[in-house]
Amino acid sequence: MSNSKGTALITGASTGIGAVYANRLAKRGYDVILVARDAKRLAEQAARIKAETGRSAEVMAADLTAKTDLAKVTKRLRDDQTISLLLNNAGVGSNAPFAGADLDELDKLIDLNVTAVTHLASSAAANFSAKKSGTIINLASVLALAPEIASAAYCASKAYVLSLSLTMNTELTGTGVRVQAVLPGATRTEIWERAGIDVSKYPPEMIMDVEPMVDAALAGLDLGELVTIPSLPDIADWESLNADRLALRPNLSRNEPAARYKTARVAA
């Protein structure tokens, strides 16, 4: 076991991707603060981590869609100088059609996947940039790049997380703070069942187990990647998509419309 690397605050640590990250980060030498709603599951998880790694594991039960709970976690992230890593992971899926969706359900998804992620990332960024070190890992999804194939609000929330991470990285460059956006493909966790989706209907070759997914994401962190897509065989495919996007930049804001939009004016 390595020396302490400070404390990692992990949201959604009671199960799935967050639970595996918590175990792996403790094995890497981090003390951990485990955040989710289910205090009993968190306590079991903390006991396992302590027994397996000897690291300290604190439980912080919080519903991140509740303003007071979210404020408690953001305050801790802003003020606790021992925290050196935020894993911004808690999220919910959805299977509902967008038209006519239950708006309270949409709000809950946005509260967790967008608002909480934003408050937590901003608070950690303030703490880490002041002390000139720290790591912020935001869990997005490959659906940020493939919005045609799943629920609209969920895909949009994950596109938000990717965009947030890219801009955060630009703002924090040179401050000693690392940002990583992780874009998992379909990963075998409870998220499917919670969203009312039968994951066994998908081809098994599309579904990754959670341990290899998290280990790949951590390998991406070690490689210094800003964006890690654990399934993608050739990172050059992402790099070329990103290069094409960046190549648009000089033409995205100009003082006159493009020629193809001028023909209508002649007719008028």
The interface with ligand NAP within residues 88-127 (CB under 6 A) comprises 89-92, 112
Selected range binding ligand NAP among 21-29, 30-38, 95-103, 145-153, rule: CB under 6 A = 30-38
58 binds ligand NAP (CB under 6 A): no
The least CB distance from residue 250 to ligand NAP, in Å, is 33
Q: Is 154 a catalytic residue?
A: yes
Nearer to ligand NAP, 103 or 268 (CB): 103
Give the max Cα distance, the chain.
77
- Tokens 């039968």 correspond to 198
Q: How many residues does the chain have?
A: 268
User: Is there binding between residue 15 and ligand NAP (CB under 6 A)?
Assistant: yes
In the sheet where 134-139 sits, what is the strand order? 57-61, 31-36, 7-11, 83-88, 134-139, 177-182, 227-228
Asked whether position 16 contacts ligand NAP by CB under 6 A, the answer is: yes
State which residue, 68 or 253, has the beta carbon closest to ligand NAP. 68
List strand residue ranges (DSSP E) for 77-192, in order. 83-88, 134-139, 177-182
Burial (CB count <10 Å: 0-12, 13-18, 19+), residue 172: middle
Q: Does 139 bind ligand NAP (CB under 6 A)?
A: yes
Nearest to 13 by CA among 80, 90, 103: 90
Q: How far apart are CA 164 and CA 118, in angstroms?
A: 8
Q: How far is the CB of 9 from ligand NAP (least distance, A)?
A: 12
Query: Which helix H or strand E contains 7, and what residues bound it?
Result: strand 7-11
Minimal distance, residue 46 CB to ligand NAP, in Å: 13
| Binding string, residues 151-180; x marks residues near ligand NAP by CB under 6 A | ------------------------------
Q: Is 27 in the site for ligand NAP (CB under 6 A)?
A: no
For residue 51, CA distances in Å to 23, 24, 46, 47, 70 come to 11, 13, 9, 6, 29
Per CB under 6 A, 181 contacts ligand NAP: no
Q: At its nearest, how many Å lie between ligand NAP and the CB of residue 268?
A: 48
Distance of CA 91 to the CA centre of its chain: 8
25 counts as binding ligand NAP under rule CB under 6 A? no
CB 37 to ligand NAP: min, Å: 3
Q: Active-site residues: which are they? A: 154
Query: Which residues form the interface with ligand NAP (CB under 6 A)?
Result: 11-18, 36-38, 41, 62-65, 89-92, 112, 139, 141, 184, 186-187, 189-191, 194
